[in-house]
Structures are given as structure tokens and as C-alpha cells.
Amino acid sequence: MSHEHDYHPPGLQHQFEDMGQQQDSVTVGMWAFLVQEIMFFGGLFTAYLVFRSRYPMAFAAGSNHLDAFLGGLNTLVLIVSSLTMALTVYYAQKGKRNAQVILIILTMIFGTTFLVVKYFEYSDKYHHGLVPFNGLNQKIKKGHEGGEAEKSEKSQIVLPFETKAEASETKTEAGSETKPAEVHANPRGEFQWHDENGVKIVHEAKKGGYLTPYEQSGYYTNGEYDNDKFTQKVRIFFYIYFVMTGLHGLHMVVGLGIMTWLLVMAWRGTYSAEYYSPVEISGLYWHFVDIVWIFLFPLLYLLGRHFLAGGGH
């Protein structure tokens, strides 16, 4: 008695009739998930566009405090990771196990590099008081607010959850008396903004009639420039920056988790010309994460940079 009709292709799940039906089902499922992700990030992009159209000068000022070189480096890293991921799918379709393993590892290295660079960016914002959430900035002594001065003086770091700052003592000129160290400029780790160049550009923009109606009321009080109001608009930029890049980073962490699973399965020789859909579907997710960053980089790091760099209006 022949049992040819009982043949079960590797990787075929029992609820599907054949590999073609299974491939179509998982592809549609992943695209449905990605559409939901597009709508999710679409809301964040909409919020960015609304606030930026209202307060372009404040957003330009905030953008100039991001490191465009590191942002560009991360863009290059993710573009290369998309290439290695595409090659992983190609060699999975060819059933070449060793090539799959090597390319998955390379993809993971690029993804990890992206997160390391992002860590240094976040750390820089922490040390300069540009984290918009109170309590999450480095607490520094008065007189050490400047970025370079802060680094050279090695101001005391007080963690956000500490409620009591240690008071050090310094000797007077006589050498016999001591006095407590200066209090902290931001005792609760508040958002800090010190940018005289940005203020000058705003004044020039007002004289030239370049400010939007929202900016004229949002930066000025009774016709006088209000630094607190301008700072709050810059703070909105950093709220959006941290939320969007933070969520993107979380998606990258999830992607690395998926790559780890793929690596284990590829090492076992699971994927072949007959069964490679998990690699292909995972590649779709990875490419989506990369594409989101392709939009984040110019919107957050580049738009408006020429305003505060002397590029004119």
C-alpha cells in the first residue's frame, strides 16, 4: 500500500493544507501586524508634524542639540543590517546553513551597535540636562551648568532617586574654616536649557516676520521674550524625541530577540529551500524597524539645523 499521500513537508503546520497556504497565511499575518505598527508610529509622526509646524524655531533649536554624526552613523548601521538580513533570507531559500548563521550574527552585531550608539546619545542628554522628564537629569552644582565647564570640573553626580545631596566642604583662603559646597542648580534633576544663540535667532526671526502666530504668542509675554515659554516648547521637542526613539529602540530590542531565536534554529539546520518562511517574515519586521529610523533621522536630526548654523531663513 502506498503512503505517498501521507508525505508531510518539513515545517508544515497541521492546520494548513500545503506550504503555499501556510506561506500566504503567515505573510498576510505579518503585514497586518506591520500595518498596525504603521498606524501606531503614524500617530507619533503626526504629533511631531503638528508641533513642529507651530513652533519651528524651538524645534530647530532642539534639533541642533542632537548629534547628527551619531544619528548618521546609526542610519548607516541599519542600512547595512537590512542588507545582511536580506542576504539571510536569500541563503535560507538556498538552504545554506553556514551562510545563514554568519549573516544572522552580523545582523545582530549591527543591531547591537545601533543600541550602543543610542546609549551614548541618551547619556549625553542626561549629562546636559536635556531629558524632559524631571528627575532623570544629572544634578550639577551652580556655576557648572555649561557643557564644557561641566566636563572639566567633573561636577558631582547625584542619582535621580537620591533625596539628600552630600555636602562637601572647602577650605577658605585662611585655611582654617570650611563652608558647605554650593547647592545644586537643578536639585530635582529638572530639564535644563541654556542656548543664547537660539535666543538671538528667535529675535532676528521676529524682526523679519518669520515667526508663526503660535510662536509669537508661545515665545513672548506682553511683547517681551519669555525664556521659560521658549524652553517649554523646546522641551516638547525632546519629549517627542525620547518617546519616538525610545519606542524605536524597544522595537530593535525585540528584533534582536527574534534574531537570537532565528540563530538557534538556523544553527540546527531548520531552514531550507522548502521551509524558510520564519526567516522571511522576521526579515519583514527588521526592515520595518529600519525604515522607521530612516524617517526619524532627518525629521529629528536634520530639519531646521541650518537656521541655527547661519544658513538664513
Q: What is the mean pLDDT of each run of 10 residues along the chain (313 residues)?
A: 53 58 72 92 95 91 92 97 96 91 96 97 90 81 49 40 40 45 60 74 77 86 85 93 96 96 91 85 94 95 69 41
Q: 242 vs 23, 172, 256, 294, 305, CA distance in Å?
A: 37, 43, 20, 16, 18
**Same domain membership, residue 280 and residue 147:** no
**Same domain membership, residue 199 and residue 185:** no
Alpha carbon distance 49, 43 (integer Å) = 10
**Same domain membership, residue 219 and residue 106:** yes
Contact 293, 301 (CB under 8 A): no
Is residue 256 domain-resident? yes
Is residue 1 domain-resident? no
**Same domain membership, residue 220 and residue 272:** yes
- Which of 154, 189, 224 is the endpoint of a domain? 189
Is residue 248 domain-resident? yes
Domain count, the chain: 2
Q: pTM to 2 decimals?
A: 0.78
Is residue 14 domain-resident? no
The pLDDT value given to residue 223: 81
- What does the radius of gyration of the chain's CA atoms come to, in whole angstroms? 26
Q: Which residues contact 110 (CB under 8 A, 6 or more apart)?
A: 77, 78, 80, 81, 84
**Same domain membership, residue 219 and residue 169:** no
Is residue 42 domain-resident? yes
CA 162 to chain centre: 27
**Same domain membership, residue 226 and residue 178:** no
Is residue 215 domain-resident? yes
Is residue 6 domain-resident? no
Look up the CATH number of the domain holding residue 67: 1.20.120.80
Question: Strand locations in 18-151, DSSP E?
Answer: none
**Same domain membership, residue 105 and residue 30:** yes
Is residue 13 domain-resident? no
Dmax (CA) of the chain: 107
**Same domain membership, residue 151 and residue 210:** no
**Same domain membership, residue 222 and residue 116:** yes
Q: Which domain holds residue 158?
A: 141-189
Place of cell 508641533: 51
**Same domain membership, residue 213 and residue 167:** no
Alpha carbon distance 293, 110 (integer Å) = 14
**Same domain membership, residue 75 and residue 216:** yes
**Same domain membership, residue 231 and residue 102:** yes
